[in-house]
Amino acid sequence: MATIKRTKFKLLPGQLLEMFYWLKLIRAFDERLSILVRQGKVRSGVYTGIGQEAIIVGTAFGLRKEDYICPLHRDLGSFLMKGVEARVMMSQMFGKVTGLSKGRDSALHSGVNELGIFGNTSMLGSNLPVAAGLALTFRMEGTDNVVIAYFGEGASNTGDFHEALNFAGVHRLPVVFVCENNQYAYSVPVEKSMAIDDVADRAASYGFPGVAINGNDVLAVYQSTQGALARARAGEGPTLIECKTYRWHGHSEHDKAFYRTDEELAMWKSRDPIPTFTTYLKGLRVLTDENLREIEARVTKTIDDAVEFAVSAPDPMPDEAVRDLYTGDPEP
Amino acid sequence: MSREVTYLEAIREALAEEMRRDPKVFVLGEDVGAYGGAFGATQGLYEEFGEQRVLDTPISESAIVGISIGAALRGYRPVAEMQFADFISCAFDQIVNQAATLRYRYGGRASVPIVIRAPSGGNVGGGLYHSQNPEAWFVHRPGLKVVAPSTPFDAKGLLKAAIRDNDPVVYFEHKYLYRREKGPVPEGDEIVPIGVAAARREGDDITLLTYGAMVTPSLEAADRLAKDGVEVEVIDLRSLLPYDKDAIFASLEKTSRVLIVHEDVKTLGIGAELSAVIMEERFGALDAPVLRVTYPDTHCPFSHMLEQANLPNADTITDALRRLAAY
């Protein structure tokens, strides 16, 4: 079986700082959402990815506009990285007309074709066959664009997972399957939902490589993704990258997560991807006190602006509830 | 120019012509490639268009629809074949949650132009899992369109309309009609618009609403009633979502009596909705209760005796028409 070449993909200082910015921004976006839920300003449907940010940043960094991503519910940050404005994404969470859904749903349930973002339903894993379909069209057109499809270890137990990865394997489609293994499917720990240790092992059934990596190390995620993307762009087929990680919050913001221990959470918090990367960048002297302050200020400004925009944006008109069901429907 | 072809050939012609017309149209499904489909609906397509546009898939109905959705988002017009409509339940989530809601939740900024072909219906000795009529499940889901042709002309024209439609269309083709139904079909483009019913027989006394394989026994029953001096107007709905409310109301204004006939089971079938709408909006025009002749609320048994006991036929339809006429 093929293996991933552990090629070192060089990053320039400016790119490293950009990665750092995304990590900080996505963390701040989710943290603010968490506060807004507690304040009763955002109604519900908030599934933060706090603690898992290195996966989105390491995989989505440097993607082409034409490349497609098929995010899961904790990946709102990937929408931002692919070009959706923070204002629009925050509006989406507030159910405002300025959101991607015009208030019809929140979070990941909307996409943008022009930016290569597919918005999935709440049926976890059901984005994977769609990802295969998107990748199939890249193959039909002979381009070297790729699809990155995200899923949790929980969704790797669905039929759609099997059907999609099998099809992608048969046709050697240009798709990278990224598993965010955060140890729990809502409350059910991984050992109660799988009889194997690594989701990555499942790739063998579909005839392509699978690797399990430290999902809290943004550079490790980036390196593995670049290897997988190179394979996909060269027509060598899919790769499954399992990123081991942990979600700090509950499944959703209303979930107190009593099913896990404080010690376990503390252990994973000690592996927070952001301080690790901060120390690394400071060691390289890429990150200085000065540009750190500048980045943090930019993050705060972006989030403040997004919230302010979303709060003051209009609610949808009631007739929006029955529009846009069909293409011929009159526009409001 | 028109010549006689079978219902099945009409489907094949529509696929081939649409694939020639638009390079974005492709077909996918189980055994649709070199084998030509379990019923032969895709015969010759593989030879003409190659394996990229006539794609054999693994037994993965959910993925077949999911892949179609992905391709549709990139501007393609996939036609997915469910080998039997009975198997469509395996793809239910992708159809009702993914495809049906996408335009809505995308704020109207995207469409899902896919067609899901579903060979449906009984009277073929298929048993529980090769005979079903699951159309009502999909009529219950806003965002989808549902059609069910009864003639070769409509089979071709509605499939063309479905392929050119920008929204997901579930296309129920009745297996009993594949080779038994033969009729005039134009060689060129003749689109049968979605949402428009067709009167198969005119009459002033009773309106009979039906579709699919129930059209023929309905016409036979109508002919029997004509001998009693009762003229039945038989309306072939052709489209189930949206259905042609104007045609239904126009007919019942004339007749004041309505019988609904379908092969699907009774409870919450298409007939339940049509009956409710008629009573809500045209109660004053009725001289009799709306009646239904349907499959009983049971499964599709294998034994010929049992299957025939369940299927509506010209006799059971005639009985219902006579009851209505006597009102």
A160 to chain B: which residues are within 8 Å by CB?
Answer: 62-63, 66, 93-94
Averaged pLDDT score across all residues of chain B:
97
Segments making up each domain of chain A, as ranges = 13-322
**Is the per-residue pLDDT at A7 higher than 90?**
no
What pLDDT is stored for residue A329 in this prediction? 64
Which H or E run includes A80? Answer: helix A76-81
Residues of B in contact with A159 (CB under 8 A): 62
Give the pLDDT score at B56.
98
Is A328 in CB contact (< 8 Å) with chain B?
yes
Q: Does B101 touch chain A (CB under 8 A)?
A: yes
Residue A196 CB coordination number (10 Å): 10
Task: Look at A325 and B106 and tell me if their CB atoms are within 8 Å.
Answer: no
pLDDT value, residue A6: 45
Residue B310 has pLDDT above 80, yes or no: yes
Report how far residue A21's alpha carbon sits from residue B266's, in angstroms, rounded to the nearest whole number.
60
Mean pLDDT for the stretch of residues A167-186: 98
Q: What's the mean pLDDT when you consider all of chain A?
A: 95
Residue A312 has pLDDT above 60, yes or no: yes
pLDDT of res. A9: 80
Residue A183 has pLDDT above 70, yes or no: yes
Q: Say if CB B53 and CB B24 are below 8 A apart.
A: no
B193 in contact with A at a CB cutoff of 8 Å? no
* Residue B270: both structure tokens together: 């298409």
The tens digit of pLDDT for each residue in A59-81 reads: 999 999 999 999 999 999 999 99
Among A105-109, B11-15, B317-321, the least confident range: A105-109
The tens digit of pLDDT for each residue in B180-204 reads: 999 999 988 999 999 999 999 999 9
Cis peptide upstream of residue B242 (ω within 30 degrees of 0): yes
Percentage of chain B beyond pLDDT 90 is 98
What pLDDT sits at residue B2? 78
Long-range contacts of A185-192 (CB under 8 A, 24+ apart): A185/A152, A185/A153, A185/A154, A185/A155, A185/A157, A186/A154, A186/A251, A186/A255, A187/A251, A187/A255, A187/A257, A187/A259, A188/A154, A189/A259, A189/A260, A190/A153
- What confidence score (pLDDT) does residue B225 get? 98
Q: Name the CATH superfamily for A13-322.
A: Thiamin diphosphate (ThDP)-binding fold, Pyr/PP domains (3.40.50.970)
pLDDT tens digit sequence for A266-282: 999 999 999 999 999 99
pTM of the model: 0.97
**B89 interfaces chain A, CB cutoff of 8 Å:** no
Residues in chain A: 332
pLDDT (0 to 100) of residue A240: 98
Task: List the single residue in A111, A167, A331 with the smallest CB-CB distance to B67.
Answer: A167
Q: Would the pLDDT of B83 be above 90? A: yes
Structure tokens, A322: 């029955």
Q: Does A2 score more than 60 pLDDT?
A: no
Interface probe for B, chosen from A171, A326, A329, A331 (most Cβ of B below 10 Å), is A326
Mean pLDDT, to the nearest integer, of A13-37?
A: 97
Structure tokens at B283: 């109660």
Percent of chain B surpassing pLDDT 70: 100
CB contacts, 8 Å: B74 with chain A: 113, 134, 137
pLDDT tier at A45 (50, 70, 90 boundaries)?
Answer: confident
Whole-number Å distance between alpha carbons of B21 and A153: 43
d(CA B234, CA B218): 7
Q: What percent of chain A is modeled with pLDDT above 90?
A: 95
Using one digit for the tens of pLDDT, what is the confidence trace for B207-237? 999 999 999 999 999 999 999 999 999 999 9
Residue A134 has pLDDT above 60, yes or no: yes
Contact between A193 and A179 under an 8 Å Cβ cutoff? The reply is no
* Token pair belonging to A249: 């919050």
Q: How confident is the model at residue A263 (pLDDT cuts 50, 70, 90)?
A: very high
Q: What is the ipTM of this complex?
A: 0.97
Categorize the per-residue pLDDT at A330 as very low, low, confident or very high, splitting at 50, 70 and 90: low
pLDDT at position A170 is 98
Residues of B annotated as part of the active site:
130
Strands (E), A64-221: 68-70, 147-152, 175-181, 184-185, 188-189, 210-214
Residue A4 is predicted with a pLDDT of 45
Q: Does any CB of chain A come closer than 8 Å to the CB of residue B62?
A: yes
Question: Mean pLDDT throughout B76-91?
Answer: 98
Identify the residue whose tokens are 């749903």.
A105
- Does A324 contact chain B (CB < 8 Å)? yes
- Look at the block and give the residue holding tokens 């069910």: B148
Which candidate from B70, B75, B145 shows the least CB-CB separation from A132?
B70
- Residue B287 contacts residue B225 (beta carbons within 8 Å): no
pLDDT at A1 over 50: no
Question: What is residue A5's predicted lDDT score, i.e. its pLDDT?
Answer: 46
Structural domains of chain B in order of their starting residue, each with its CATH number: 2-186 (3.40.50.970), 198-325 (3.40.50.920)
Contact B166 A166 (CB under 8 A): no
Cβ distance of B70 and A137 shorter than 8 Å: yes
For residues B85 and B131, the answer to whether their CB atoms sit within 8 Å is no
